[in-house]
Amino acid sequence: MRKYWQVFRISLADRFVYRTDFLIGTFLRFAPIVTTIALWRAVYAGAGREEIGDLHYGEMVSYYLIVMISRAFGSMPGLASTLASDIRDGNLRKFIVQPLNYVIYHLHLRMAHKSVYFVMAALPYALVFYWCRSFLPGWPAGELWPLCILSLVLSFFLGFMINMAIGLLSFWFMEVTSFMFIFMVSQYFLSGHQFPLTLLPDWLERSVTLLPFAYETFFPVMMLMGKMNAAEAGQVIAGQCLWIAILSGVVAFGWRRGLRRYAAFGG
């Protein structure tokens, strides 16, 4: 495992090279929350209701605030496209001949990226949550915090495996841009990032929450909002573990079968 630790350290140092640009980009990610607050204020005023989708106005705003935390763990920008590029351009061959596991290699790269992101984003998160503190309905009970943190960590591994599975399609298709676009739109909708899944009709919500995307964002957010008890939180974590195991099997199978098709020429 020492070689993967070196990969993590090198990637960590690389992320700090452009730390000012990284910090500015992190601040700008919070800009949409201003329009979100105004949008949902108009929605609640127009509906003339105190509660929409089992959420009051303050809870709705806090939902989007906490979504930013959950997505910070589960989102993997560029992972699937990087894998697709390595397969299409032949860069994958250098990993095949080296004593590295390609999947574990990228896992450590993402761990380094997330470590830097959370260090750089700590101040922006603190400022935004302080500014929006009046919208926060409260946090889960103290005994639920370990489960909440575990759920966020599992959402990282879940998001990683989902993106790796999508990237492996490049073994069978020369161009996967359309697949990635469909995937990103579907993930944005089905994970609860665009709006809480409680706004869906009951039958559709039950169907959508069976998919892995809801375990990546929606369920961890509801846990952090204190909308679940310990038993329900335990079921969510069990569901996350199940989907990680399933997707790990899919990635391992796709990797082995994909390598049989892979061919690269030249130096």
pLDDT on residue 68: 85
The pLDDT tens digits of the residues spanning 37-89 come to 778 888 888 877 777 877 888 888 888 888 888 888 988 888 888 888 888 88
* Domain membership flag for residue 182: yes
* Domain membership flag for residue 25: yes
The pLDDT tens digits of the residues spanning 196-227 come to 888 888 889 889 999 999 999 999 999 988 88
Q: Average model confidence (pLDDT) for the chain?
A: 84
* Domain membership flag for residue 183: yes
Tell whether the model's pLDDT for residue 23 goes beyond 70. no
Q: Which amino acid is at 230?
A: A
Q: Which domain holds residue 180?
A: 2-261
Q: Which amino acid is at 69?
A: I
* Domain membership flag for residue 40: yes
* Domain membership flag for residue 80: yes
Residue 139 backbone zone (phi > 0: left; psi -120 to 50: alpha; other: beta): beta
Say which residue the tokens 């790269």 belong to.
Answer: 109
Q: How far apart are CA 84 and CA 80, in angstroms?
A: 6
Q: What domain count does the chain have?
A: 1
Q: Which amino acid is at 181?
A: F
pLDDT on residue 174: 79
* Domain membership flag for residue 267: no
Q: How far apart are CA 43 and CA 112, in angstroms?
A: 40
Tell whether the model's pLDDT for residue 25 goes beyond 70. no
* Domain membership flag for residue 266: no
Q: How far apart are CA 43 and CA 38, in angstroms?
A: 9
pLDDT on residue 242: 96
Residue 54: name the closest of 238, 218, 236 by CA.
Answer: 218
pLDDT on residue 192: 87
* Domain membership flag for residue 246: yes
The pLDDT tens digits of the residues spanning 86-112 come to 888 888 888 887 778 888 889 988 998
pTM for the model: 0.85
User: Residues 90, 92, 95, CA angle at the centre, nearest 5°?
Assistant: 145
